[in-house]
Structure 1
Amino acid sequence: MNFEFSIPSLPETPQCSPNQLIQLAKNLPDATISIPSVDKVLQAIEQGKADLVSNLDWIYCIHAKPQWDRQNIDQFYKTSAAIWKVAISNSWLQHQLLWRLALYYGDRQEHILAQSLVESFDVFANSDLTSQFLPVKIIRALRTTQAGRELAKISCEKRVNRTGLLNNIREYLPVWIPLFTDFIEEITPYFTTISSPNYQQVNWLLVCLDEMSDIQQIKAVNYLLTNVSNNIATNHSLLVDWLRKNYRNGENWYKLSDPARQKLRDWIGGINYGDFQKLVNLILNRLDLQNFESNRLCSRRDFWANYSNRFERLRILLPKTSQIAIGYQVQDDVDLLEDDGSDSTEICIFDFGEWFVVEFFRGRGSETRLFPKNSRNEQILFGESTLSVKRIRCLGGDKHDHVFIWQFFCRQWLANKGVNPNPGTEPYTNPTANKLQQRENRLEGWKREIEYLEREARAYV
């Protein structure tokens, strides 16, 4: 079978003439296309007309400067210094240069900027108008061998954490470069170089620690505890309180190294013993005590100094008369002791980890009591707002005297409970037979007195 196809007819191609376009072109004014060049920019600078250089010309100049330098070896530094001088009063240009300089140092993008512009940066950085400019300080830090440490120093001076610092410079510098992320690990090493940090610097450290990831923070705290001097802990309870809250209990405690854990124990104990010592000294200075009472308090203060690293918590209970005399000189964990007719005495309650130690300062009895650390005792001794001498004596517990040469026997008594003095504490010399006899004679009277006071307390409660 044969098929025949017919070819469709197409419309004729229109005959167009460009006459109108040509005529339009003839009527246009003459235009000269300006091609950017480094020489054009440098000429404008030399003529004092840098403010007439367009942004496009500046971009081209910065981009083409490396090649221009290779062709003009004798002029490359002088011309780059001239460009930096213009940047002092040209915020747009300084942004372009500083951004690239940060990439050069911080991201090793050495092709991003002519070497002559890198080397002449100090012309800009040393100007009185720009030397204190934060991005300038940042770039100065980036070009050092310890860039992370220097960035941490700047962060400390500005009292901002890493996020705060980056927020202050993100308009001027590329904040994604690795050094801006990594310098957070230099926060604690830098802090430990400060010989006597003030409150603001300690607070800065804590803000930075709070910003860190768990892994970064554990590493930072380990470094802090094993490298910073003890006097910092003594002078800054804020730091110790933060460490106690975040690391003394819970799983973080076990993530610390053994030396770090021991240091934290020492710090916490030192702070709390310091409060105890301060209280004793205030009582000695503010209250009208008899000599035997003063001597008794001094001996307590000196004895417990040997256990300073065991003081995990401290609660102070004062009778009304002592509170009035001492005023607000001791503020932390101080409560009013309820008057129950007992002899006037101050009481300190120590948390020694597995044991609570209750120390009666004055009056009849004037004993030390030891209670196992359980939820009931903790609730009463550290939780109840109102306590009295008789209420505490009614709790019972093991008790120890403060009769003649009591220190020797009290240390043994505590050691039998697993409460040992600080490492390196000198042992007491063994008492002579004569001293032992004197103690025994006085001890009988103390025992009778304590039995009477406990009966009185039970009857009252």
Structure 2
Amino acid sequence: MINSSFSFERPKLPTANNLEKLSFDEFYELGFDDLGLPDFPPKSLMQIVRLVENRRTDEVHVFEWLDALENSEQWNALDEQEAQQALIAVWTGIGTNQIVSDIALFKVGLALDGRPSSIVHEIVDSMTIARSVPTPHKLTTLRLDWLISLQSKAYAELAQQALEDNSNIGMYLQKLRLPKANNYTEEVYLELTNCINAQNITDFEDGWLFDNFQAISTTLTRIKVCQSIILEFENYKFGDLCSEIVEKHCLPTQPNSYWGRLSHQAREVLKKKYDLTSYYDLQAISSALYSQRAADELGFTEDEVRQISNRSKFWSNYSSKFNRVRVLLPQGSHDFVHKYNGGLPDFVDVLERSSENIEVYIFELDKLMVVELLRGNVAETRIFKPDRRLFENGSLSIDTIRSLPQLEVHDHLELWQYFCERLLRINYQIHPNIGTTRFKGLGREMGTYTQDVGLPLPSSEMMSQRKLSLEAWLQKFWEAEIATGKFGKHQDLTSKGSVYLSQAMLAKHLGQVDQFRTLIRQSAEQGNSEAMYRLGQSMLRNHRSDREAKQEAESWIVKAAENGHKEAENFAYKFRLNVKKNPELPSADEGNHVAVGVNSLSQNSLDKLNKRVSIDSSRVNFLTGRAESGSADAMYELGHYLLTNVGNSLSSRLVAEKWISKAASLGHLDAVVLAKKFRIKF
């Protein structure tokens, strides 16, 4: 744009700013009123050089200085010596005339930020030399320090300059009268923690960090700054105000927390500092999967999204019980969560291709292992005894998981939270987090929780609705179960035994214990191997069972093993039950360990042990009394006798392991040796 012989570029407004942010009036008062008028035509660059050399800079009008700063045609026409003279003249004007300094360095700031600026590059390139010359204006010196550091991308130096001025980044830029809305500001914020001593942070530094964080306007930058604070203070205590930032914005227990968007390393630091369990890692993945973006990009149905959300909320009531976590995601879900959360923790793997391609959560809950199949035809929860294959098998698939023997299987139909809480509390003595009075994910009516009663009993209408849904779900469940082949001989779903088994499981899921026991026995009597095994297990676990009942329980497990029921075979092999056919070596590691432990003791060793203990059956009651009174010696002697008496029943073996484990846990050396040989946990 050319007007009255002055050349100016057409002004351009960067999209990152608005008129208010870039208005000169925000930074300074130009004070053009008393400057008079420039010459016409305006002085050339070399004329300005001569005036400066003769100390007549006051004769150069501001508009003429502006032309000298922007007119690249004049600069291109200069030879090397003239260019040096022109630079000296222009920098003299910048150093002595505050208005020229304001305009010139503001334009330099725009240029260094990669935004449209009419300043000639010769001015930008010569800043370092100009800084070596003293200037009467301290503000000009401070601005040059900032711009030179910016030019070399020394963002930590920029943050340090703001700290030394006791200003946050935005305030310091305003003080320097430089552009405030910059593309590089985030880089400076990420260097804040490099300016302080985390090992011994002062109140001044703590307040400065807090002030800067409060001034950040974008969520993404806030998350990055939070992360830098967390990692910087990994081994040190937060300052009071930094602690307030982290606890308010980063802990997973807070609403709208940044937790899910922090790096795995940052979350690990917070877990250690605030004693958080692995549940919260799982929650971050769940939050991504039940987001609207997941529904749009992965094609999840409304019901699937709701199910994932409900399960995450339910398990949040047990967050303090979580230990290890593993997540298996189909490739599409894996890529989505990685993008959504900005990365994935180490415990997330790609799911091995299976008959169903769905998301799987595996986690330790106290002494149990829980597997959540989040979607699919059955979408069940499976509860296992500790089984290292669930965490150590590198190529785990849905089919493999379903083929493993489980303790329980639970649905996610109406009222599932009520029955799942009841199952955990009654069968496994697993209670929600201490202090829980209301279950997350449930409404006011059904969510009230008490330690003794649990959740409120549902109405009969709700139970009837659940029963109808369960019948259809159980049909799908048994089809999936039988397809695994783990029940040995082919099971016909239409046979009377299978019908009774389905009815028994329906009763169990409805909390009808007596009806379950009746139906499971009827199914076993009809030859269903799964029912035989479940009946035997149920009778063994019943503390009211007498010796005769436990012997009957063993016989049911033996029958199931003879029918090829894999878990029954493993159980019979482990506890030396007399199965007519020769059972194959079980695949379960637990069974292998027990077998090795027994076989590694020679007959000579057994004789020596029996001789050393030298007890007979008449002393069992006496030793039991002493063991129950806390005598570690009695615990060991009683356990050793029962364990090494090969003719004893399964119930004796279980009692033996219990007493040896207790004695070993009390530090009894012989018990420790025996427990290790027989792979007994203590």
TM value normalised by structure 2 = 0.36
Aligned to 2:267: 244
| CA apart distance, 1:224 | 3.0
Aligned to 2:138: 121
Alignment of 1:194-273 (within 5 A): 194-198=216-220, 202-203=223-224, 205-207=226-228, 209-212=230-233, 214-217=235-238, 222-228=243-249, 233-234=257-258, 237-249=260-272, 252-254=273-275, 268=281, 270-273=283-286
| CA apart distance, 1:267 | 6.1
Match of 1:183 among 199, 205, 213: 205
User: For residues 151 and 440 of structure 1, do their structure 2 counterparts lie closer, same or farther at Cα, with a shift above 3 Å needed?
Assistant: same
User: For residues 179 and 433 of structure 1, do their structure 2 counterparts lie closer, same or farther at Cα, with a shift above 3 Å needed?
Assistant: closer
> What SS does the aligned partner of 1:346 have?
coil
> Which amino acid is the alignment partner of residue 198 of structure 1?
L
1:398 matched to 2:408? The reply is yes
Match of 2:308 among 295, 298, 301: 301
Q: Distance in 1 between matches of 2:187 and 2:139?
A: 22
Answer whether contact 1:356 1:370 (CA < 8 A) is retained: yes
1:315 matched to 2:327? The reply is yes
**CA displacement, residues 29-64 of structure 1 (integer Å, 9 cap, x when unaligned):** xxxxxxxxxxxxxxxx998499xxxxxxxxxxxxxx
Q: Distance in 2 between matches of 1:414 and 1:189?
A: 47
* Sequence identity (%): 16
> Which amino acid is the alignment partner of residue 350 of structure 2?
D
Answer whether contact 1:369 1:397 (CA < 8 A) is retained: yes
RMSD: 5.4
Q: Distance in 2 between matches of 1:424 and 1:438?
A: 20
> Which amino acid is the alignment partner of residue 297 of structure 1?
E
| CA apart distance, 1:405 | 4.0
| CA apart distance, 1:369 | 1.7
Match of 1:336 among 330, 344, 351: 351
**CA displacement, residues 190-214 of structure 1 (integer Å, 9 cap, x when unaligned):** 3355343326x64455445544573
| CA apart distance, 1:409 | 2.7
Answer whether contact 1:365 1:446 (CA < 8 A) is retained: yes
| CA apart distance, 1:349 | 0.6
> What SS does the aligned partner of 1:366 have?
coil
User: For residues 85 and 228 of structure 1, do their structure 2 counterparts lie closer, same or farther at Cα, with a shift above 3 Å needed?
Assistant: farther
Q: Distance in 2 between matches of 1:383 and 1:137?
A: 46
Answer whether contact 1:345 1:361 (CA < 8 A) is retained: no
Q: 5+ unaligned residues in a row in structure 1: which ranges?
A: 1-44, 51-81, 98-116, 167-174, 255-260, 288-293
Alignment of 1:327-366 (within 5 A): 328-331=335-338, 332=344, 333-339=348-354, 342=355, 344-351=356-363, 354=366, 356-362=369-375, 365-366=378-379
Q: Distance in 1 between matches of 2:238 and 2:256?
A: 19
Answer whether contact 1:368 1:400 (CA < 8 A) is retained: yes
Answer whether contact 2:359 2:374 (CA < 8 A) is retained: yes
| CA apart distance, 1:396 | 0.6
Alignment of 1:359-378 (within 5 A): 359-362=372-375, 365-371=378-384, 376-377=387-388
Q: Distance in 2 between matches of 1:404 and 1:281?
A: 24
Q: 5+ unaligned residues in a row in structure 2: which ranges?
A: 1-51, 58-92, 102-128, 150-156, 174-179, 339-343, 447-456, 489-565, 567-586, 588-682
Answer whether contact 1:360 1:366 (CA < 8 A) is retained: yes
User: For residues 243 and 280 of structure 1, do their structure 2 counterparts lie closer, same or farther at Cα, with a shift above 3 Å needed?
Assistant: same
Q: Larger RCO: Structure 1 or Structure 2 (Cα < 8 Å, ≥ 6 residues apart)?
A: 1
In the comparison of the two structures, how many residue pairs are matched? Answer: 321
> Which amino acid is the alignment partner of residue 197 of structure 1?
T
**CA displacement, residues 106-157 of structure 1 (integer Å, 9 cap, x when unaligned):** xxxxxxxxxxx8xx6346557xx6774558986665445x579978999954
Aligned to 1:426: 443
| CA apart distance, 1:381 | 3.0
Q: Distance in 2 between matches of 1:350 and 1:425?
A: 23
| CA apart distance, 1:285 | 5.8
Aligned to 2:394: 385
Q: Distance in 2 between matches of 1:179 and 1:150?
A: 22
> Which amino acid is the alignment partner of residue 191 of structure 2?
N
Answer whether contact 1:351 1:357 (CA < 8 A) is retained: yes
> Which amino acid is the alignment partner of residue 464 of structure 2?
Q
